[in-house]
């Protein structure tokens, strides 16, 4: 018999079951991608996002309290968020947990409020929300939950069942809201991913047997559950990467919100491992294995006084010998720490894939390359880690993929010690154009305005192959056809790669075009690429045509017209 209230233990089971169900359906969700390209990754992105949080939740054990559980869900999903669908999922979870974290048990009314808060938070994260997507499905479910609550429904099982059924109905209607879905014969993939999460959660609520084997507890929580260290053998000593088990409590003297918590945890991860960072109203419990405890301590002192400080040298035979670090020792470590280079005014961070493209960005002065793009969207945590490696006060981030922009924006919101400016570049050529137009003598604001203006002048086309039969923009596509994809849709399709490429460029060039840049991928020979270059030069004598090795996978050619 099911209960009409959900406690932290049940919510934990429901969340893990939802994550597990999404993981088991991720490939099916990937195949719902409108464009039949070999990099449909909605299911993968959503799964990696929720699994980041699920590992944190699994590490809490079977009896978590609501506050700690909610922080694990929110923090884990925010940092693990990948792709637009993953970021939106993380924001839905963030809003939901914010509404329930101070509750002991969840009633129908509380759940209705939480669903609405999740939707509100997710919509705010998207600059131009589009209907017929995961947002629409989430909002439909939240509206049904509110309706049932207002009608006075008291049976939790019926409440959840009817809410999910209505969300599924809204999902079935997404092709009527987005013509491109209807023509492709699919429902929204992100919305389907959300449905799999809530259906899995409902199964756990009903008491169904769930196999959680795919979810491995985060090492950081498990390693520090008892906040004590154990003795190590000589062999283990050789394998220890970080030698000092450092534990303390911060007695907060100022606000410590989710941004501070994520930023502090990211810092700890940059200097060690086995991280625990659990915040309560007035204190933060911290555990980290590091080679320099002083760095963790100095960072923590920014938020308040320290208590219960313990440092254990795990490389010594007698691990029980714990000692407290005196103020004098702290001062000594501070004095002997290696001086840090002064931060430069401006730095660049670019997402890129392909040996040639990476070299182009480096030659243009980009400080750090995040390997990623199609099929491997970097997470918010990946971007935050990269930000730590760029020693600059202001950092321009070039996502170079429309599916990475939201994660970059989320990283910017979570960063407090540096000023991040996300230039919403959707393609590699736009990113190259943005950095080329940077002028050191101009202000950060003027450079941002210039880049935003210039990237709008770049048209990008990409040639790849189809993984299934479908219909897009009234063009019939068969599996293994070559496709020329533009910024707004399909330009060309056929069995001849060169013909498809030429037709794609034809659709992009107009009377104002001056430059055609060709970046050929890892599966194209230089000779074949030169043939395309020569033919375009002959066909468009008024345009400069440049050929460069990109080395990108999946896309045979990435071509820009400016």
CA diameter of the chain:
79
Start-to-end CA distance of the chain, whole Å, equals 65
Please tell me whether residues 45 and 177 are part of one structural domain: yes
Other Cβ atoms within 10 Å of 503 Cβ, number: 16
Report the pLDDT value the prediction gives residue 315, as an integer from 0 to 100. 61
Please tell me whether residues 330 and 365 are part of one structural domain: no
Of 206, 178, 201, 203, which is closest to residue 190 (Cα–Cα)? 178
Residue 200 lies in a domain: yes
Q: Going by C-beta distance under 8 Å and a sequence separation of 6 or more, which residues neighbour residue 469?
A: 36, 477, 478, 479
Distance separating alpha carbons of residues 559 and 540, to the nearest angstrom: 14
Report the pLDDT value the prediction gives residue 375, as an integer from 0 to 100. 59
Please tell me whether residues 25 and 164 are part of one structural domain: yes
Report the pLDDT value the prediction gives residue 269, as an integer from 0 to 100. 83
Report the pLDDT value the prediction gives residue 226, as an integer from 0 to 100. 38
Residue 214 lies in a domain: no
Please tell me whether residues 14 and 91 are part of one structural domain: yes
Residue 211 lies in a domain: no
Please tell me whether residues 253 and 350 are part of one structural domain: no
Please tell me whether residues 34 and 173 are part of one structural domain: yes
Distance separating alpha carbons of residues 547 and 549, to the nearest angstrom: 7
Domain boundary among 421, 455, 489: 455
Give yes or no for a contact between 34 and 180, defined as CB atoms under 8 angstroms apart: yes
Q: Looking at residue 72, which CATH number applies to its domain?
A: 1.25.40.340
Q: How many Cα atoms within 13 Å fall on the side-chain side of residue 48?
A: 24
Q: Looking at residue 275, which CATH number applies to its domain?
A: 3.30.70
Residues in the chain: 562
Report the pLDDT value the prediction gives residue 34, as an integer from 0 to 100. 65
Domain boundary among 429, 455, 481: 455
Please tell me whether residues 509 and 374 are part of one structural domain: no
Residue 210 lies in a domain: no
Q: Looking at residue 398, which CATH number applies to its domain?
A: 3.40.50.510
Q: Going by C-beta distance under 8 Å and a sequence separation of 6 or more, which residues neighbour residue 181?
A: 34, 132, 174, 175, 187, 188
Residue 195 lies in a domain: yes
Please tell me whether residues 269 and 294 are part of one structural domain: yes
Q: Looking at residue 497, which CATH number applies to its domain?
A: 3.30.1180
Query: Exposed, middle or buried: residue 543 (CB in 10 Å: 0-12, 13-18, 19+)?
Result: middle
Please tell me whether residues 414 and 300 are part of one structural domain: no
Report the pLDDT value the prediction gives residue 234, as an integer from 0 to 100. 37
Distance separating alpha carbons of residues 88 and 94, to the nearest angstrom: 10
Please tell me whether residues 441 and 535 are part of one structural domain: no
Please tell me whether residues 295 and 429 are part of one structural domain: no
Domain boundary among 417, 432, 455: 455
Distance separating alpha carbons of residues 18 and 171, to the nearest angstrom: 17
Report the pLDDT value the prediction gives residue 541, as an integer from 0 to 100. 95
Please tell me whether residues 12 and 147 are part of one structural domain: yes
Tokens of 2: 């099911």
CA distances from 518 to 166, 502, 560 (A): 48, 12, 7
Residue 363 lies in a domain: yes
Residue 1 lies in a domain: no
Number of domains the chain is built from: 4
Q: Domain containing 387: what range?
A: 344-455
pLDDT in tens, the chain (562 residues): 678 999 999 999 999 999 999 999 998 898 887 666 655 578 888 999 999 999 999 999 888 999 999 999 999 999 899 888 999 999 999 999 999 999 999 999 999 999 999 999 999 888 788 889 999 999 999 999 999 999 999 999 999 999 999 999 999 999 999 888 887 788 999 999 999 999 999 999 999 988 877 788 876 433 333 333 333 333 344 455 777 888 888 888 877 776 777 778 878 888 888 777 777 667 787 878 888 888 888 888 888 888 778 887 776 633 443 334 444 444 445 444 545 678 899 999 999 989 999 999 999 999 999 987 665 789 998 999 999 999 999 999 999 999 999 999 999 988 888 999 999 999 999 999 999 999 999 999 999 999 999 999 999 999 999 888 888 877 889 989 999 999 988 999 999 999 999 999 999 999 999 999 999 999 999 999 999 999 999 999 999 999 999 999 889 999 999 9
Residue 56 lies in a domain: yes
């Amino acid at each position: 018999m099911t209960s009409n209230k959900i406690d932290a233990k049940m919510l934990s089971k429901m969340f893990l079951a939802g994550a597990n169900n999404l993981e088991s359906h991720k490939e099916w969700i990937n195949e719902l991608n409108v464009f039949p390209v070999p990099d449909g990754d909605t299911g993968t992105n959503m799964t990696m996002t929720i699994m980041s949080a699920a590992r944190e939740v699994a590490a809490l054990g079977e009896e978590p309290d609501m506050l700690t559980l909610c922080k694990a869900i929110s923090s884990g999903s925010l940092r693990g968020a990948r792709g637009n669908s993953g970021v939106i999922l993380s924001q839905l979870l963030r809003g939901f947990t914010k509404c329930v974290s101070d509750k002991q048990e969840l009633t129908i009314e509380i759940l209705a409020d939480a669903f609405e808060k999740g939707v509100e938070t997710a919509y705010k994260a998207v600059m131009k929300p589009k209907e017929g997507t995961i947002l629409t499905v989430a909002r439909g479910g939240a509206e049904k939950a509110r309706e049932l609550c207002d009608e006075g429904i008291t049976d939790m099982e019926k409440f959840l069942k009817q809410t999910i059924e209505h969300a599924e109905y809204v999902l079935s209607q997404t092709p009527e809201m987005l013509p491109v879905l209807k023509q492709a014969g699919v429902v929204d993939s992100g919305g389907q991913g959300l449905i799999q999460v809530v259906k899995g959660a409902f199964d756990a609520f009903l008491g169904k047997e769930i196999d959680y084997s795919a979810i491995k507890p985060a090492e950081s929580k498990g390693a520090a559950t008892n906040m004590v260290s154990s003795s190590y053998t000589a062999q283990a000593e050789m394998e220890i990467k970080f030698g000092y088990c450092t534990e303390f409590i911060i007695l907060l003297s100022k606000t410590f919100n989710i941004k501070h918590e994520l930023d502090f945890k990211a810092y700890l991860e940059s200097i060690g491992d086995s991280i625990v960072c659990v915040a309560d109203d007035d204190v933060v419990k911290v555990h980290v294995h590091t080679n320099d405890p002083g760095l963790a301590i100095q960072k923590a002192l920014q938020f308040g006084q320290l208590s219960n400080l313990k440092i254990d040298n795990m490389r010594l035979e007698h691990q029980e010998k714990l000692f407290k670090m005196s103020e004098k020792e702290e001062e000594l470590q501070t004095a002997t720490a290696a001086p840090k280079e002064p931060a430069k005014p401006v730095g660049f961070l670019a997402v890129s894939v392909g040996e040639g493209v990476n070299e182009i960005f480096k030659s243009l002065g980009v400080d750090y390359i995040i390997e990623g793009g199609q099929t491997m969207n970097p997470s918010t945590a990946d971007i935050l880690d990269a930000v730590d490696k760029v020693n600059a006060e202001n950092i321009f981030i070039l996502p170079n993929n429309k599916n990475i922009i939201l994660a970059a924006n989320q990283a910017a919101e979570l960063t407090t010690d540096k000023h991040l400016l996300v230039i919403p570049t959707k393609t590699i050529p736009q990113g190259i154009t943005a950095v080329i137009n940077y002028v050191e003598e101009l202000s950060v604001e003027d450079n941002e305005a210039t880049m935003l203006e210039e990237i709008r002048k770049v048209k990008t086309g990409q040639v790849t192959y189809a993984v299934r039969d479908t219909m897009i923009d009234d063009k019939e596509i068969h599996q293994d056809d070559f496709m020329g994809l533009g910024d707004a849709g399909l330009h060309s399709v056929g069995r001849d790669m060169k013909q498809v490429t030429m037709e794609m460029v034809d659709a992009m060039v107009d009377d104002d075009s001056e430059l055609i840049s060709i970046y050929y991928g890892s599966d194209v020979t230089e000779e074949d690429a030169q043939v395309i270059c020569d033919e375009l030069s002959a066909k468009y004598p008024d345009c400069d045509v440049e050929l460069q090795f990109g080395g990108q996978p999946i896309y045979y050619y990435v071509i820009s017209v400016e």
